[in-house]
Amino acid sequence: MNLKSKKNMTENNIQDQMQVMNQKLDLVLSEVNTQRLNREEKNDLFDDLSIIGKDLFKSTVAELDAANVEFDADSAIRLAMKLIKNIDNFNDMIDMFESSVDLMQDLAPIVQQAGIDTVHQLHEFEQKGYFEFIREFAKVIDKVLLNYTAQDLRDLTDIIIPMMDMVKNVTTPDMITNINKAINAYQTTEIKEVPKYSLWQLFKQLRSPEMRQKMGFMLTVANKL
């Protein structure tokens, strides 16, 4: 390689380096210019906000003065200090509120389904006649209240235990069977069809073992009474 070729290569390398440096310099200048513009925009924004703040402060003071409201700077400072001290409490309150909102959103489908189930259950009660029964029972209560006084109910409390004992005894299987037999016998016996017994016939009936047992039962019950 001759000297001229080496010289040309060196010049080309220098030109390439200069071009790269120019490109980098352009980037640096562009970045500097961008930062300058941003700084100017911020300064303009701060100036505008400062003007707006001053105007707002003046208008607020004028409105407070017109409304005869005295502005206490010390009270405002104390309030600001309390707000700053309780910033954690405010955050906790906001967290609780957000949790409550989330809980309500989670419970909304459950509450809605419960309402639907309640409506269906009430409809079923209506179909079965529960509400009609309650209305009729209320009429019974009204009649009781019209015909009995509070003193009657107080007197009833004194005999409620014997009455319950009587009902308990009456509702035993053997007693129910005997009562049913007595009712059936009474219903199936016609007074016109009852035969007339003479004293001799009555005496003969009393001599039978069955009749003597029945008479003995009746006398035993009478003696216990």
Cα radius of gyration rounded to whole Å, the chain? 54
207 vs 117: which has the higher pLDDT: 117
In a domain, 77, yes or no: no
Say yes or no to pLDDT of 72 above 70.
no
64 near 71, Cβ under 8 Å? yes
Q: In which domain, by residue range, is 219 found?
A: 198-225
How is residue 65 written in tokens?
């003065």
**pLDDT tens digits for range 146-191:** 888 878 777 777 788 888 887 787 777 877 887 788 788 777 776 6
182 near 191, Cβ under 8 Å? no
Number of domains in the chain: 2
Domain boundary residue among 70, 88, 104?
A: 70
In a domain, 29, yes or no: yes
In a domain, 223, yes or no: yes
Domain boundary residue among 70, 91, 115?
A: 70
Beta strands in the chain (DSSP E): none
**How far is Cα 217 from Cα 182, in angstroms, rounded to an integer?**
15
Location of structure tokens 């029964």: 133
In a domain, 208, yes or no: yes
In a domain, 107, yes or no: no
**pLDDT tens digits for range 73-95:** 677 778 778 888 888 888 888 88
